[in-house]
Structure 1
């Protein structure tokens, strides 16, 4: 979903094309979010942008609008080849790629621009047929699958006009940077393309990489405190490891818990918790890297339509998921990286709604709290779980 946070800057004031404004109006977006208001005047003028923004701040629309406007304002060359992309967006996970593509299709609804996706876990030949079925204006891809197509000479990046690297910090964490470097070398020189890079953090590694990839970028920063903490009621329960499953089961039975995302740190923890909850009769889904892409898409659809009470997810699978109406987020384990705490609780309390996050701090991970509090700029009150949540069936 493309987020619209109230701001003084309207999309009408940005001299966007009629087709983009019509699509935005249909989506009922009038005001820019802070990242959109700050970055769009820069990116629309053709400058490279290095943006610091969390998931849920509207950054996807920020770079998509700039990409679409660039393509609208510069007609496609008369001689084109199949698989020759004009704009390339790289993102670290399949879910995020699919979400970006969905938003891109909504925003290009009244244009002739085509949007294509390349992700692992989806039939290779189907993706190939789609690429050959029409010209490629906007290509959204994960690094590994994109390289597969490039190496087989099914995709060509030498005509890319705009390059977007989304969630650069996550790309770094997941070990994708060598692949991203190879991809970027296939695109025109940085002086001959526009580059936008977005990251939740500006670590030294991220800044070193962007210096190589970008030409005099303008830096735009939106601090994480503006993301979700004001609309999310945060609780930390001091719970023993063997109490967590009992508390979680009791939470699932509370009438105010309408839809729930549960985060674990590792795939094996995600699988074990999913199986335990399903064994107890709860309608739950699982999102992790070991689940097939088609099943993950089906799980998300079932969750959106209320067929599932909860989803158990890892951070990699959960990043980039945009679902309205999530009432509660549970940190079954405190995340190893403080930034992931902000990403997790940002799944609820979206678009002005309120939400609740509950974190379990046990003897194994309570030591992670100080770093999370330092990032938030506030203390998190730790309490014992209420008695009714500790009661066995």
Structure 2
């Protein structure tokens, strides 16, 4: 029966399309409601038969076939609601004694619009002090810990300079007007993100160059548009510079962030090579930021700056007052049990665990995953694209525990981290402050817990001396030292 029906309908269609017959013409409704590409023009335009006799004018199909395209009905689009233009009057911040507003500086409306979007009504202490000098064109050396707002301080200075001074009429794509050098890939990514947020209404282009990511992809971005603000690690920047892809002769503002860390990581010879490619220090503005003012840092500052203003944040602000600090005295063999039971018993959902060595980080992460905890690692051995993906997963709550070294941890600026655990105490006291500064951000409360074992407890006195107070050392509850029940074979 089915075959017979197919033959009948097939024959009917063939008869309809036989020579001398008219092809069916779609109705106006079918033409106006089809796929957009079909409405615009058929994929293959049909040809008229060569020996086709002229159709009588009285036929019903001819006028429809000759109907002009413009006469076909079209669906009208609803007009978009008008966007209300932003005005500085939309950013109302009342003056407060002891606080500096961004309104108190002469900042461009486009920049103020972005600051308003980010919800920054008042300057942090480092911002208020630094901007008073840098917006006047002076060089500056700033000492401030992480989380104090120093990134926004130098970005606001850079953006203001670039908006006030028109770019040269002739410049290569790879000639940045502002250069920011940072020691780690994570820090570069974070600074570039902050720069993109602050420049979104200005038309300035921000680019980032870091090692561990595809060189050709970064090069294509550079070839597509002018680079106004370039954020880079020293090694990858030298790669671009030595290949002739990036020229630093038009740099108007140069920033060295975390100069003490660059010294520790051995980057200063590379930084010297880079600075030699920029204009003389008398023809550029130079800003240098460091968590500490060692003799080595100050010697570098003298070489690279001209009569700089020196801005320091008082030492009592070295540790975030919102962070509750604990130290557990625990044997090295019991540290993992304590970590696992703390996280799982308390149901913590966003925790950073710090260890001093990359092999320690790898082992801790592997054991947590094996025991059913959603964890990931962040160290210099992890490829850059994976590090960025890991940070995004941690930020979105998809990763419960992030295990990291100090180098990788420097660039982690994520709100909502409830706990920081020092699996091993840091060898450098300043790193302790950087670690615990990952929690208690944006006015929230946080907790740091340090494991002091037989191999690292000697670090505690130096940490306490830097903090200016003792941290009570306690024994962990017995139930937190129970063996871990294996979740996987």
Same fold (TM over 0.5): yes
Pairwise mapping of residues 116-131 of structure 1 onto structure 2 (< 5 A)? 116-131=207-222
Give the number of aligned pairs.
388
The answer to whether residue 291 in structure 2 is matched with residue 200 in structure 1 is yes
The equivalences for 1:2-151 within 5 A come to: 8-151=99-242
Give the counterpart of 2:339 among 248, 267, 278. 248
| Residue deviations 1:106-141 (CA, integer Å, cap 9, x gap) | 000101100011100110000001011100100000
Q: CA deviation at 1:255?
A: 3.3
User: Bigger radius of gyration, 1 or 2?
Assistant: 2
How much is the aligned-residue C-alpha RMSD, in angstroms? 1.1
Name the structure 2 match of 1:154. 245
Q: Write the deviation string for residues 343-381 of structure 1: whole angstroms up to 9, x where unpaired.
A: 000000111110000000001011111110011000011
Structural mapping, 1:262-281, within 5 Å:
262-281=353-372
Is the Cα–Cα contact under 8 Å of residues 85 and 137 in structure 1 kept in the other structure?
A: yes
1:166 aligns with 2:257: yes
Q: Is the 8 A contact 2:102 2:121 kept in 1?
A: yes
What is residue 3 of structure 1 aligned with on the other side?
none
Shift of 1:388: 2.5
Distance 1:236 1:108 in 2: 42
Do 2:318 and 2:467's aligned partners in 1 also have CA atoms closer than 8 Å?
no
Q: How many Å separate the matches in 1 of 2:316 and 2:215? A: 41
CA deviation after TM superposition for structure 1 residue 273, in Å: 1.0
Report the alpha carbon displacement of residue 257 of structure 1 after superposing the two structures with TM: 2.1
- The answer for the alignment partner of 1:325 in structure 2 is 416
1:313 aligns with 2:385: no
Q: Which has the higher contact order (CA 8 A, sep 6+)?
A: 1
Consecutive unaligned residues in structure 1, runs of 5 or more: 1-5
Answer whether contact 1:55 1:320 (CA < 8 A) is retained. no
Rounded to whole Å, the distance in 2 between the matches of 1:95 and 1:329 is 18
Name 1:260's counterpart in structure 2: 351
Distance 1:300 1:33 in 2: 26
Give the gaps of 5 or more residues in structure 2.
1-95, 485-489
Structure 1 position 228, deviation (Å): 3.9
* Kept after mapping to 2: 8 A contact 1:227/1:346: no
Aligned structure 1 segments of 4 or more residues deviating by more than 4 angstroms: none
Preserved CA contact (<8 Å) 1:228 1:349: no
- Could you say if the C-alpha distance between residues 224 and 272 of structure 1 is closer, same or farther in structure 2, counting changes exceeding 3 Å? farther
Structure 2 counterpart of 1:182, from 270, 273, 289: 273
In the superposition, the TM-score normalised over structure 1's length comes to 0.97
Please give the secondary structure, in 2, of the residue aligned with 1:163. Answer: strand
SS at match of 1:235: strand
